[in-house]
Amino acid sequence: MAFLPMNADEMKARGWDGVDFVYVSGDSYVDHPSFGAAIITRVLEDCGMRVAFLAQPDWRSTRDFMQFGRPRLGFMVSAGNIDSMVAHYTVAKRKRRDDAYTAGGKNGKRPDRAVTVYSRMIRRCYPDIPVIIGGLEASLRRFAHYDYWSDTVMPSVLFDSGADLLVYGMGELQTVEIAGRLGDGWPVESLQDIRGVCYKVRTEDYMPRSAVELPSLERVKESKRDYAVAARRELEEADAVRGKTLIQRHGEYILVQNPPMQPLQTEQLDWVYSLPYMRWYPSCYDSLGGVPGIAEVEFSITHNRGCFGACNFCSLAFHQGRAVTVRSEESVLAEAKSFLANPRFKGYISDVGGPTANFRLPSCDKQKKHGLCKNRKCLAPKPCPHMQVSHTEYLGLLRKLRRMKGVKKVFIRSGIRFDYLMEDENDAFFTELVRWHISGQLRVAPEHCSAAVLDKMGKPYIETYRRFCEKFYALTSREKKDQYVVPYLMSSHPGSRLKDAVELALFCKAEKIHPKQVQDFYPTPGTISTAMFYTELDPYTLEPVYVPKSESEKAMQRALLQYFIPANKQLVVKALIKAGRRDLIGSGKKCLVKAPAGMQNSGKPKKKKYARYSRKK
């Protein structure tokens, strides 16, 4: 086992005079299966390819891109584990100081819109070489999309980047097919029939076929209604069983998205996670302090893929898909066993999860043959009566991990779907979750309490969360443990008015929740919630949606969630007055903040008192 070569010297040290592929990443190199770049490069290697890993190249020069010489088959380009704009900027569009995916943890080692910048530089070096883009940034920007940072609708990243092919979703099977065909001497144009890819073609060269046509780039730029329609159709067809070819005109060209690639089945997932990962970063990063992003995941295990929860603000449904597939028990146990030989392993498995930790079954029997339901959710606003619910298999896996010699604790941190858990009539998993698998705090995501906002989020109503907490604390008390539920909460999501933010603040007070951090809604490409943010329409109904966009209102909604912080008092008072809730300003039990000087508890200004005096005669 060894890291892939990162530069020309390391390539030559292997006795290679060149490589088949250069994989370009916006992240530092971490060879761990929690990093998509590690998976794809190991898949290529397993296909018999010589692969170089070009991490965070200097995009201002051609030198780094040309150091390996012209690769025999092409370049593969990714921005890294997350969108480069999200990596660089906060929701307030301020530059971040930190970057967990960069050695040393400092921002600035990759360009904005990294996929586009890297691909254009490769074109300068080798104008006719195949360039294939993929990863989260490319996948979520595969159609004309609203870009929050420029506040414009941008074309598909395939056009801006000048790449030949875009791989969307989880790309292992596409990578195998691409590498095989290019290796056999096929031209890059021959790859246009592979599922799970997008390509561009001149309008006059497009061969008519059965396809769903989206409103064109020009139309979605001009009409917010058309943008909302396009966003809905894109997600409707993001299903490997029933998804159709999608086309979207971009001027003289047509963007073609082939139907999604079939998700990896158990045997294939086992293969992916059996590849020879180093599960660490190269020693060249040691002097910089390493790559912070590895700390939480080094001894974590991913046991599943896909999430049929499909929250509107989450990119999972659009990128990874809603269909749940799982690794075999033997594969997971073998990965855990491999930890025992690692000197850094202290007996603690930090996570056994995935997109949603407690999913091990397809949503229902119907979806295997017909795909997941179009425009319907499995869990919201109420669980589908056809949904199959069981934690038996997951619980059995956890029990075997706990019994493994050398393992002290097995934690679950990547997100228990509490609404799914509450549908299970068998309490065995919930009981053992509380007894064995929580490290003091269990983080779950109710996100809000207002029914109107939860509808726009695609989340279940708050009553389910209340029942979950009641049961959690009853079990915790019975186990005589000091453990807490920590809820993720979001402010300023489309549909959230000030009155909804006030309702959430009152909920937090009643539940004795004091969130240390509050996440403002972040409009990232490819989600239904982002389409709502931009268009102020619900893509499913095309009815108007209220969207808090001004910095002042977003600041007020955020402050209401942290009403207990003295520095927020002025904003909270302003928000309560604007929301018509002066009754919550004062010293009463229901009040959120005390009345400021000059204001009575009722919220009414105090009458000025004048000192009595007598005029001297």
The pLDDT tens digits for 450-504 are: 999 999 999 999 999 999 999 999 999 999 999 999 999 999 999 999 999 999 9
- The answer to whether the CB of 592 falls within 8 A of the CB of 506 is yes
pLDDT of residue 243: 95
pLDDT of residue 234: 97
Where are the chain's structural domains? Answer: 8-199, 301-568
% the chain with pLDDT above 90:
92
Evaluate if residue 602 carries a pLDDT over 60: no
C-alpha distance from residue 313 to each of 274, 458, 554, 558 (Å): 32, 8, 17, 18
Evaluate if residue 317 carries a pLDDT over 50: yes
The pLDDT tens digits for 415-455 are: 899 999 999 999 999 999 999 999 999 999 999 999 999 99
Compare 324 and 602 and report the one with higher pLDDT: 324
Evaluate if residue 610 carries a pLDDT over 80: no
Q: How would residue 614 be classed by pLDDT, with cut points 50, 70 and 90?
A: very low
C-alpha distance from residue 193 to each of 181, 189, 258, 261 (Å): 12, 9, 7, 11
Evaluate if residue 333 carries a pLDDT over 80: yes
The pLDDT tens digits for 130-157 are: 999 999 999 999 999 999 999 999 999 9
Report the chain's mean pLDDT, rounded to a whole number: 94
Global pTM reads 0.94
The pLDDT tens digits for 241-268 are: 999 999 999 999 999 999 999 999 999 9
Rounded to 5 degrees, φ, ψ at 453 are: -75, -40
Q: Residue 553 and residue 279: Cα distance in Å, rounded? A: 44
The pLDDT tens digits for 289-303 are: 999 999 999 999 999
pLDDT of residue 415: 84
Q: Is the peptide bond before 381 cis (omega within 30 degrees of 0)?
A: yes
Two tokens, residue 107: 């921002």
The pLDDT tens digits for 551-594 are: 999 999 999 999 999 999 999 999 999 999 999 999 999 999 99
- The answer to whether the CB of 394 falls within 8 A of the CB of 356 is no
Report the SS3 class of residue 397. Answer: helix
pLDDT of residue 305: 94
Q: Residue 430 and residue 418: Cα distance in Å, rounded? A: 10
Q: DSSP string covering 507-551, please?
A: HHHHTT---S--EE----TT-HHHHHHHHSB-TTT--B-----SH
Intrachain domains 8-199 and 301-568 with the same fold: no
pLDDT of residue 611: 46
- The answer to whether the CB of 503 falls within 8 A of the CB of 453 is no
Helix pair 428-436, 392-403: axis angle to 10 deg: 30
Task: Name, in order, each residue with C-beta under 8 angstroms of 340's C-beta and a sequence gap of 6 or more.
Answer: 406
C-alpha distance from residue 208 to each of 144, 203, 233, 245, 319 (Å): 21, 10, 19, 11, 27
From the candidate CATH numbers 3.30.450.40, 3.10.150.10, 3.80.30.20, 2.40.170.20, the one assigned to the domain spanning 301-568:
3.80.30.20
% the chain with pLDDT above 70:
97
pLDDT of residue 617: 36
Evaluate if residue 31 carries a pLDDT over 90: yes
C-alpha distance from residue 102 to each of 134, 149, 294 (Å): 19, 22, 10
Q: Residue 561 and residue 389: Cα distance in Å, rounded? A: 34
Q: What is the 3-state secondary structure (H, E, C) of 128-155?
A: CCCEEECHHHHHHCCCCEEECCCCEEEC
Evaluate if residue 281 carries a pLDDT over 90: yes
pLDDT of residue 597: 81
Specify the DSSP class assigned to residue 495: T
Lowest-confidence segment of 114-118, 325-329, 438-442 by average pLDDT:
438-442
Query: Residue 483 burial by CB count (10 A; 0-12/13-18/19+): exposed, middle or buried?
Result: middle
Q: Residue 357 and residue 394: Cα distance in Å, rounded? A: 9
CA nearest neighbour of 103 among 351, 305, 284, 319? 284
Q: How would residue 47 be classed by pLDDT, with cut points 50, 70 and 90?
A: very high
The pLDDT tens digits for 76-104 are: 999 999 999 999 999 999 999 999 999 99
Evaluate if residue 531 carries a pLDDT over 80: yes
pLDDT of residue 615: 42
Rounded to 5 degrees, φ, ψ at 351 are: -165, 140
Evaluate if residue 368 carries a pLDDT over 60: yes
Determine the average pLDDT of the residues in 164-181: 97
Q: Are strands 74-78 and 441-447 parallel, antiparallel or unpaired?
A: unpaired
pLDDT of residue 357: 94
Determine the average pLDDT of the residues in 328-350: 97
CA atoms within 13 A on the CB side of 214: 32
Q: Residue 518 and residue 561: Cα distance in Å, rounded? A: 7
Q: Residue 190 and residue 384: Cα distance in Å, rounded? A: 42
The pLDDT tens digits for 65-79 are: 999 999 999 999 999
Two tokens, residue 461: 């109503």
Question: Element (H or E) spanning 87, and its range?
Answer: helix 84-88
CA nearest neighbour of 245 among 287, 291, 205, 207? 207
CATH T-level topology, domain 8-199? Rossmann fold (3.40.50)
The pLDDT tens digits for 188-245 are: 999 999 999 999 999 998 887 789 999 999 999 999 999 999 999 999 999 999 999 9
